[in-house]
Structure 1
Amino acid sequence: MTPLVSVVVTTYNHEAYIAKALDAILEQRCNFGVEIIVGEDRSSDGTLEVCKSFAHRHPDAIKLIVSAENVGWRKNYRRCVAAASGKYIAFCDGDDYWCDESKLQTQVDFLEANPEYGMCYTRSERVDEANQTSTTYPPQGGHEDFESMLRLNTAENCATLAKRSLVEQYYSEIRPDLHPEWLTDDLPMWLWFSANTPIHFIDRTMVVHRIFSHSVSHSTELEKRLAFSNSLSNIKLWYDEHYNHSKQRKEILRERMNTTLWVYSHIGSVGDFVRHWLTEIKENKMGVCNIVAYGLFVKKLFRKLKKLMANG
């Protein structure tokens, strides 16, 4: 059966999770053909062996793309999309999984009945790596317009289904490979969709997205979190400038400032905190009136004083 849907699964060091992701896709109940494109990026654990086993058992359903060397998440993602042949593309990273067997059928039914729409997405459940803590996302309603998505992207990658022609148009127009400072492909893609085509939120929890926890006391992890957060801000600023006449620039800069100062309230010196605050103020003068920043500064001073008193 010619596939109507291509499911793109990118995976790297997901030995503990990839089987659950692939099983959930194979268990989808559909009245159309589905192909699974698995991009295995030369994992250092047993992920490749698990993927090969699935591809051997399901040769008509799974197309396995392997790497002679690690190509990185961006190229891995792109080559899987290029290998897709379905009218629609769904995404599922190797550590996520779908929890509803009707996920694809529900989404395809909507897009087939409403051809003016380019993408739809469902509600998701967020769990930690041990499946012990879960929250529903988005906590309220999902956004369906560009300005709301710019404020908060409510579309988890594993929850989406999009027209392949539009995914290809996104890559052709935006060329995310020219933006190495963008550390994700999810946010820029769904912002582009919300700016160029109607999108639809399906208010049913049909997928599970894993959130890996890290200690907030670990400076390296905090710096990584800050780098990723700054990347999201850069993406939002770019889209705000090109599609929104920079209407949300002050709001985005304030959000970036709060995140940056929160991180430096936990790491670095008081001087580091002040220097980053002043840097943010240069881009957004209203930062001098930021109540959150003053609160974080007081907490930073309190932690410093407490440490000095403990050291006697």
Structure 2
Amino acid sequence: MKVSACIITYNHELFIEDCIKGAINQNIDYDYEIIIGEDCSTDNTFAICEQYALEYPDKIKLFRREKNLGLSGNWIESLKACSGDYIAICEGDDYWTDPNKLKLQLNLLINNNKYVFSFHDSLIYNLTNKLQNLRVGTKKIDKEPNIASVLLENNIRTETMVFKNTLDWNNLPFWFKNTLKIDYALILLLLENDGRAIYIDKTMSLCRVHKNTLWSSKSATVHNQEGLAFFTNFYTYTSEMKIKKLVKYKINFIKANMGIMLMRDGKIIKGLSNVVFYNNWFSKSFTIKLKKIVSAGKSGIFKRVHSIE
């Protein structure tokens, strides 16, 4: 059996060494390769990757793109290069902190064919305010999530996943490509057709949050636009009515959220109509919340607008 660690990187010169070391230091009993997809960085990321590739030629395979492919393009090409029966993903600004991470996850998957991937907790470190928290550990979590539960609440971080390499990377659905939410897309694709994942209650990686990530650098408006396009495409793709209903819920959530943003920007009538029309994301206290929105003005609740995952 073979295992692939897939590292996706672009302009990560401050972080990539930790990421590569986390992959190299894994205690693993199987045939093991480390695939690095380097997307024409403009800093010293490639030079650092090349140094490690030269030091570990039997383990590391470094791919530098001829031109910048962007987030989804580099993801897809890197996954295509993985020859393992199982794949573990880590983006270049995150890293694995436990040398037994892969062994633990692989043993669980190999001994139970019920699951298509496993995942665990990750320490989230914000470089701006120096705050730390657990991405998964602070939220209610389905310990054996399926596609329905992930659509309701996605607790799964990319760097925590190990999954079976069963997807056809050359024939991906249209909604998988050209999205900033490609990690979410991968999870949904793995879980369709009644797939299930398994949660491991252990913190084995670190995720860095910083303003230079492709997602974090975007505004809340762009986050909502990306989410709306993503879930609209997925709604068209899926034929299962139960899943369509959940996706519609997500779409309405985003549209209502966008309505609040319009109100924050002074477009009260247009924003309020969106909030009222797409109010299925509110709880029973909708009337109370709506009164707060109307009375708060630009300095109040409008500032507490968040995009969704």
Question: What TM-score comes out, normalization by structure 1 length?
Answer: 0.81
Q: 2:267 aligns with which of 270, 278, 282?
A: 270
Q: Deviations over 1:19-68 (max 9, x none)?
A: 00000111111111221111111111111111111111111111111122
Contact 1:233 1:256 in 2 (8 A): no
Contact 2:151 2:247 in 1 (8 A): no
Gaps of 5+ in 1: 304-312
1:115-126 pair list within 5 angstroms: 115-126=113-124
Deviant stretches of 4+, over 6 Å: none
Q: 1:112 aligns with which of 100, 110, 113?
A: 110
Q: Write the letter of the residue equivalent to 2:147.
A: F
Contact 1:159 1:206 in 2 (8 A): yes
The separation in 2 between residues aligned to 1:155 and 1:64, in whole angstroms, is 27
The separation in 2 between residues aligned to 1:280 and 1:207, in whole angstroms, is 38
SS of the equivalent of 1:125 reads: strand
Aligned to 2:75: 77
Q: Which has the larger radius of gyration?
A: 1
Task: Give the C-alpha shift of residue 232 in structure 1.
Answer: 5.2
Q: Write the letter of the residue equivalent to 1:51.
A: C
Percent of aligned pairs sharing the same letter: 23
Aligned to 1:299: 296
Q: 1:193 aligns with which of 190, 195, 199?
A: 190
- Once the two structures are overlaid, the 10-residue window that deviates more, 232-241 or 44-53, is 232-241
Aligned to 1:31: 29
1:14-25 pair list within 5 angstroms: 14-25=12-23
Q: How many residues align?
A: 290
Contact 2:97 2:204 in 1 (8 A): yes
Task: Give the C-alpha shift of residue 148 in structure 1.
Answer: 1.2
Question: What TM-score comes out, normalization by structure 2 length?
Answer: 0.81
CA, structure 1 residues 286+152, in 2 after alignment: closer, same or farther (shift >3 Å)?
A: closer
1:126-205 pair list within 5 angstroms: 126-129=124-127, 132-138=130-136, 139=138, 140-143=140-143, 144-164=145-165, 166-168=166-168, 172=171, 174-176=173-175, 180=178, 182-196=179-193, 197-205=195-203
Q: Write the letter of the residue equivalent to 1:157.
A: T
CA, structure 1 residues 133+38, in 2 after alignment: closer, same or farther (shift >3 Å)?
A: same
CA RMSD of aligned residues (A): 3.1
Contact 2:109 2:115 in 1 (8 A): yes
